[in-house]
Amino acid sequence: MFKQPDLPPGKAPLSNLTKLRDVAAIGCIDNELAIRQTQVYDWFEMWNEAFFSNRLRPVHVNVSLTDYGATLGRCFYLPVQFIEIHPQCWKGNADHHSFGSSTDVHPAALVVLHEMIHLAEAQLQGGFSDANCHATPLWVGWCNFIAEQVDLPLTYGRMKRGKAKADADGRRANVWKHEKDAGVRPGTRLASYDETRCFPFLENAALLQENKEIRKIQGKEVEVLPSF
Ligand SMILES: [Zn+2]
């Protein structure tokens, strides 16, 4: 059994979530957006109860283009805590998704869950750790804790930084490797680094496949899974 990772201290004032949700829906000029904008708070409430013992303090959750429109979701901590979920999460064939033993979970709900893990880390530590936030022991701890609760067929191993490769623009691309000691929960396989950074999606998930990014790596254009 994987232990629940550490959480921010104290109970969150849940009435704040209701206030945020009401204000967000009132502010929408478009009916479809109003529905989505309410959904994201409903999911925040659901996941906070299911996995975070209601200890995450509610924050704004906005359905909006993330910075440069480049990522499916973002979590910000300073100076204001908020989460952004890209409208693209409601498009394409990805409108339903299985999540371990649960079926029919909306993929946008899973992006909300992903961002809430970032928020849990930030609220616990007073900010994000500078290392890759998808390879920290805390991140891997949350992935394993939630995966086991819902029967995801993956175990997440601790990662260590491998040799950095430079791409054509001289940008260093981090390479992550599994630590040797990675034990695998029975009935599951070890998640790849991409699946670890795209938790809780499996690599073949429609939302990921339909939103691949083109990156230039060593002069070649390569499709990579989206970031969030
Ligand atoms: Zn992330």
Whether the per-residue pLDDT at 10 is higher than 90: the answer is no
pLDDT digits 0-9 by tens, 47-77: 999 999 999 999 999 998 876 667 999 999 9
Contact 79, 192 (CB under 8 A): no
Report CA-CA distances (Å) from 117 to 36, 54, 216.
Answer: 21, 13, 29
pLDDT at res. 226: 92
114 CA → ligand 1 middle, Å: 6
User: Pairing state of beta strands 73-76 and 172-173?
Assistant: unpaired
170 CA → ligand 1 middle, Å: 24
Report CA-CA distances (Å) from 164 to 156, 175, 191, 225.
Answer: 22, 6, 21, 19
Tokens of 155: 């175990």
Q: 10 Å Cβ neighbour count for 68?
A: 6
107 CA → ligand 1 middle, Å: 14
Considering only CA atoms, give the Rg of the chain. Answer: 18
Q: What is the mean pLDDT of the chain?
A: 88
pLDDT digits 0-9 by tens, 106-156: 999 999 999 999 999 999 999 987 777 898 899 999 999 999 999 999 999
39 CA → ligand 1 middle, Å: 20
11 CA → ligand 1 middle, Å: 24
Burial 176-209, CB ≥16 within 10 A → b, else e? bebeeeeeebeebeebbbebbbbbbbbeebebbb
Least confident window among 50-54, 81-85, 141-145, 216-220? 216-220
Banded model confidence at residue 166, pLDDT cuts 50, 70, 90: low
75 CA → ligand 1 middle, Å: 8
Angle between helices 31-51 and 107-125 (to 10 degrees): 60
pLDDT at res. 122: 95
pLDDT at res. 135: 84
89 CA → ligand 1 middle, Å: 14
Of 177 and 85, the structure prediction assigns the larger pLDDT to: 85
86 CA → ligand 1 middle, Å: 13
pLDDT at res. 132: 78
129 CA → ligand 1 middle, Å: 13
Predicted structure pTM score: 0.91
Whether the per-residue pLDDT at 216 is higher than 90: the answer is no
119 CA → ligand 1 middle, Å: 10
